[in-house]
């Protein structure tokens, strides 16, 4: 079920261009981008679906670096309290260059669990958990394959592959040159929030239209992805327990495709509200807004903000038992293949609304705060819900115009929006 093709082909007035024809819009693969972006001329109106150096945000080691740097800057400028708002990322060390720093931290916290992740692979590949330094000694010596299971079988990748966030330069090709991939060692969150005894993470969609100034939209829908098995710390070798990507779950012997292990965010939000009350839920979602905004701010000055570029990110968030959200990673090419009918609906609507915001048809005025399921979250500053200046809540979090996990009556909103835009056009012509 390829949602992208369906949405693009069904869009009125859009024609698919084959091969080297002239194009106005390209939903491209990151590998194409790297090879061709620098020597492709694009007219003013042309749009492309990635930023040239998006990996500053989406490759785990760069993201950590940028976030650390941003945090230091915040501390200098605004103090420790403000900088503490960036503590949504578990302690991470780049390997092998920060190995010694990692060992220091490791020794300070004996007995905790760490997770080793390759910087540039997706779908749960190459990830393993460990508690003892000797578990990674072998890896360090170059035997990266020690704990990697059959998940490592490299699939044949086609170039026009919108799903999966892989940077083809790193894994396959590099395997011949350098025996040890770049990894990050990250503190494993040992007290995840469980529902029905299962661990889950949240997938949230953020659309960035530009970095300078920073304009970001948050999609109301998303989903919680459940691990198929019950959470326990006693079996850290069991990939299936700890990793919640659908791709990993699909290979678990317990996996039944009919089950689908996802909850829409609305359902998740309701569940939390009935358990913890609406205020706690408001706080949690406000903390998540903070994650989105701060993470984007941290790479704002680094990313080449080309006016032709926009990007739809898939944020992976983990909630712990204290209802604190943690950022796991940001995906530049979130999977657009649908695992169920409901998933298909979500992704097609997401893509349709993305195209509405990109606005190739030049219908919007640029002052809209909501387009379909997207709410304008940041417009070079916080966007308030009501008309008027943005107000800051007592906690100092931005009270933004976000409605994650809320009712998404996008069809109705789009109808009203386009009708009024049409009316405005008629009036002015």
Partner 1 sequence: MESCGRSATPPGLEGVALCRRCPVGSNSAIPPGHHSQDLQASLQRPEIKLESLKEDIKEYFKISGWEKKLQNAVYSELSVFPSPSHPAAPPEHLKEPLVYMRKAQGSWEKRILKSLNSMCTELSIPLARKRPVGEQKELLNKWNEMGTDEPDLSLFRPVYAPKDFLEVLINLRNPNYENGDSLSFRTHLGLIQVPLKVKDIPELKEFFVELGLTTGQLGIDDSTQVPPELFENEHVRIGQKVLAEQDSAAAQQYIRQGSPTALRAELWALILNISSQPEDILYYEQLKTNVIQHDLLVDSLIYKDVKLTASNDDYYFVFEDYLYQVLLCFSRDTSVLGHFAYNSASPPKSYIRGKLGLEEYAVFYPPNGVIPFHGFSMYVAPLCFLYHEPSKLYQIFREMYVRFFFRLHSISSHPSGIVSLCLLFETLLQTYLPQLFYHLREIGAQPLRISFKWMVRAFSGYLATDQLLLLWDRILGYNSLEILAVLAAAVFAFRAVNLMEVTSLAAAEAVLADLSTLKVMPLLQIFLFATVT
By CB under 8 A, name the binding residues for partner 1. Answer: 195-198, 226, 229-230, 254, 256, 258-263, 267, 270-271, 273-275, 277-278, 340, 342, 406-407, 409
In order, the DSSP letters of 281-299 are HHHHHHHHHHHHHHHHHHT
Alpha-carbon distance of 208 to 206, in angstroms, equals: 6
Q: Least Å distance between CB 299 and partner 1?
A: 34
Q: Least Å distance between CB 252 and partner 1?
A: 11
- Judge whether 61 and 69 are in contact, CB under 8 Å: no
Q: Least Å distance between CB 407 and partner 1?
A: 5
Q: Least Å distance between CB 243 and partner 1?
A: 17
- Judge whether 254 and 228 are in contact, CB under 8 Å: yes
Q: Toward partner 1, which CB reaches closer, 277 or 381?
A: 277
Q: Peptide bond before 213: cis, by omega within 30 degrees of 0?
A: yes
- Token couple for 255: 């996996």
Find the length of the chain: 429
Q: Toward partner 1, which CB reaches closer, 32 or 271?
A: 271
Alpha-carbon distance of 71 to 48, in angstroms, equals: 31
- Judge whether 207 and 336 are in contact, CB under 8 Å: no
Q: Toward partner 1, which CB reaches closer, 75 or 345?
A: 345
Q: Toward partner 1, which CB reaches closer, 158 or 234?
A: 234
Torsion angle defined by CA atoms of residues 249, 254, 256 and 261, in that order, rounded to the nearest 10 degrees: -50
In order, the DSSP letters of 292-327 are HHHHHHHTTTTS---TTB-EEEEEEEEEBTTS-EEE
Q: Least Å distance between CB 128 and partner 1?
A: 22
Q: Least Å distance between CB 292 and partner 1?
A: 22
Q: Toward partner 1, which CB reaches closer, 179 or 197?
A: 197
- Token couple for 420: 């009024």
Q: Least Å distance between CB 267 and partner 1?
A: 6
Q: Toward partner 1, which CB reaches closer, 71 or 199?
A: 199
Angle at 372 between CA 280 and CA 318, to 5 degrees: 35
Q: Toward partner 1, which CB reaches closer, 148 or 195?
A: 195
Q: Least Å distance between CB 262 and partner 1?
A: 8
In order, the DSSP letters of 354-382 are HHHHHTTT----S--SEETTEEEEEESSB
Alpha-carbon distance of 7 to 418, in angstroms, equals: 19
Q: Least Å distance between CB 289 and partner 1?
A: 19
Q: Least Å distance between CB 101 and partner 1?
A: 38
- Distance, CA of 50 to chain centre: 14
Residues 223, 6, 12, 208: is their CA dihedral positive or negative?
A: positive
Q: Toward partner 1, which CB reaches closer, 113 or 252?
A: 252
Q: Toward partner 1, which CB reaches closer, 54 or 347?
A: 347
Alpha-carbon distance of 48 to 312, in angstroms, equals: 11
Angle at 76 between CA 70 and CA 80, to 5 degrees: 90
Q: Toward partner 1, which CB reaches closer, 182 or 270?
A: 270
């Amino acid at each position: 079920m390829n949602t992208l093709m369906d949405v693009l082909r069904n869009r009125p007035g859009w024609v698919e261009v084959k091969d080297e024809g002239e194009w106005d819009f390209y939903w491209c693969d990151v590998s194409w981008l790297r090879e061709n972006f620098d020597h492709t001329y694009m007219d003013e109106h042309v749009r492309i679906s990635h930023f040239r150096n998006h990996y500053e945000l989406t490759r785990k080691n760069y993201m950590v670096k940028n976030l650390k740097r941003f945090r230091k800057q915040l501390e200098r400028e605004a103090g420790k309290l403000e900088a503490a708002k960036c503590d949504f990322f578990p302690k991470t060390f780049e390997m092998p260059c920060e190995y010694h720093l990692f060992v220091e931290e490791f020794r300070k916290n004996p007995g905790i669990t760490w997770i080793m992740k390759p910087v540039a692979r997706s779908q749960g590949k190459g990830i393993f958990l460990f508690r003892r330094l000797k578990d990674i000694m072998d890896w360090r010596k170059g035997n990266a394959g020690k704990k990697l299971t059959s998940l490592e079988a490299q699939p044949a990748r086609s170039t026009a592959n919108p799903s999966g966030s892989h940077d083809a330069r790193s894994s396959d090709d590099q395997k011949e040159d350098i025996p040890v991939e770049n990894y990050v060692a990250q503190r494993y969150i040992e007290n995840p929030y469980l529902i029905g005894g299962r661990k889950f993470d949240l997938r949230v969609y953020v659309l960035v239209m530009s970095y300078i100034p920073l304009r970001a939209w948050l999609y109301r829908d998303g989903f919680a992805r459940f691990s198929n098995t019950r959470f326990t710390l006693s079996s850290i070798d069991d990939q299936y327990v700890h990793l919640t990507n659908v791709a990993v779950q699909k290979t678990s012997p317990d996996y039944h495709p009919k089950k689908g292990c996802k909850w829409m965010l609305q359902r998740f939000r309701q569940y939390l509200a009935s358990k913890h009350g609406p205020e706690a839920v408001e706080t949690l979602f406000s903390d998540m807004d903070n994650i989105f905004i701060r993470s984007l701010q941290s790479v704002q000055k680094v990313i080449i903000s080309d006016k032709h570029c926009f990007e739809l990110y898939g944020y992976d968030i983990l909630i712990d038992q204290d209802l604190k959200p943690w950022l796991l990673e940001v995906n530049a090419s979130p999977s657009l293949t649908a695992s169920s009918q409901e998933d298909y609906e979500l992704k097609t609507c997401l893509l349709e609304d993305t195209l509405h915001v990109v606005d190739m048809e030049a219908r919007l005025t640029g002052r809209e705060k909501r387009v379909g399921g997207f709410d304008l979250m940041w417009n070079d500053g916080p966007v308030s819900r009501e008309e008027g200046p943005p107000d800051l809540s007592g906690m100092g979090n931005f009270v933004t115009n976000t409605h994650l996990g809320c009712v998404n009556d996008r069809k109705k909103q789009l109808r009203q929006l386009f009708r009024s835009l049409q009316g405005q056009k008629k009036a002015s012509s």
